[in-house]
């Protein structure tokens, strides 16, 4: 049985349309079924086949609705990898209990607040690396921080600030080697606990922060609870993670 020419037609289910599609290819009226097309003439391709191969030139579309309303600080481009250097904080159950108490109270002022899924202390801004820069960048970081020792961190670092400034200075030197943005001037080292879309500083300042501080102060063993060893520096680039142990 010989194959009929490929044609594009509506999938309405009409017998007449289907029969006509099997008999005649658009633009080929007057030639018999099965006859070869004229030289240089292209056969139309069905929509069902075209949709199997989406255009490779179209990049991914950012949908902020899938990320709680958050948007990228820079647009996605193929071959660009969002990169961030930080110290991870492993939350214990007691810490999460304290966080739940803080968030419950804070939401009376800003209901749209959402708890962070993971906790860290940033040592860099989010920057963009080309894929072939990732391994040299990580190696440069390892070389720079190899001599640093671990230290304690809390919700906001109140001791060891100079030590973290030294760490940031080394990370900044690597950023400069790759012509990337360095960290903020006079940074406040902290661990973010919650976030929301929009600027809610006015609602949070004043009584809210004072009441939250009171919850922390009254929480059992909060002083020890909010201490943690910074045992490693981590670099996240796209979906890749690299760890650099601290002595």
For residue 132, indicate whether it is catalytic. no
CATH number for 150-245: choose from 3.90.1480.20, 3.30.1330.10, 3.90.1140.10, 3.40.50.720.
3.90.1140.10
Per-residue tokens: 79: 């071959």
Comparing C-alpha atoms, which of 120, 142, 169, 157 is closest to residue 245?
142
Max mean pLDDT among 46-50, 52-56, 60-64 falls in: 46-50
The phi-psi region of residue 170 (left if phi > 0; otherwise alpha if psi is between -120 and 50; otherwise beta) is: alpha
Same fold, 76-147 and 150-245: yes
Residue linked to tokens 């029969």? 19
Kindly report the pTM of this predicted structure. Answer: 0.68
Single out the catalytic residue among 120, 131, 132, 149: 120
Per-residue tokens: 91: 């939350």
Q: Using one digit for the tens of pLDDT, what is the confidence trace for 203-235?
A: 998 999 999 999 999 998 887 888 877 889 999
Comparing C-alpha atoms, which of 182, 179, 119, 103 is closest to residue 155?
119
**38-47, 98-107, 201-210, 216-225: least confidently modelled range:** 38-47
Q: How far apart are CA 81 and CA 137, in angstroms?
A: 12
Single out the catalytic residue among 67, 76, 131, 190: 190
The domain segmentation of the chain, as residue ranges, is 76-147, 150-245
Q: 77 with 59: CB under 8 angstroms? A: yes
Whether residue 168 is predicted with pLDDT greater than 70 in this model: the reply is yes
Residue 29, CA distances (Å) to 9, 23, 92 in order: 16, 10, 75
CATH class label, 76-147: alpha beta
For residue 67, indicate whether it is catalytic. no
Model pLDDT, residue 74: 56
């Amino acid at each position: 049985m010989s194959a009929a020419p490929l044609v594009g037609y509506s999938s309405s289910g009409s017998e007449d349309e289907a029969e006509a599609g099997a008999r005649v290819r658009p633009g080929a009226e007057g030639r018999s079924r099965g006859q070869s097309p004229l030289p240089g003439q292209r056969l139309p391709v069905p929509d069902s086949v075209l949709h199997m191969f989406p255009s490779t030139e179209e990049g991914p579309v950012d949908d902020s609705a899938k990320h709680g309303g958050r948007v990228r600080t820079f647009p996605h481009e193929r071959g660009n990898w969002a990169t961030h250097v930080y110290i991870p904080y492993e939350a214990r159950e007691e810490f999460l209990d304290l966080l739940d108490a803080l968030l419950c109270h804070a939401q009376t002022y800003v209901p749209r607040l959402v708890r962070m899924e993971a906790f860290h202390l940033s040592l860099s801004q989010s920057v963009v690396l080309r894929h072939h820069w990732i391994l040299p960048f990580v190696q440069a970081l390892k070389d720079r921080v190899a001599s640093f020792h671990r230290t304690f961190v809390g919700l906001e670092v109140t001791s060891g600030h100079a030590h973290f400034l030294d760490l940031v200075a080394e990370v900044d030197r690597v950023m400069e080697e790759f012509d990337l943005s360095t960290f903020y001037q006079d940074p406040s080292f902290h661990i973010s606990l919650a976030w929301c879309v929009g600027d809610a500083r006015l609602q949070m300042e004043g009584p809210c922060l004072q009441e939250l501080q009171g919850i922390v102060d009254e929480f059992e063993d909060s002083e020890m609870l909010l201490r943690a060893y910074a045992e490693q520096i981590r670099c996240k680039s796209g979906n890749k993670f690299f760890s650099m142990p601290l002595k």
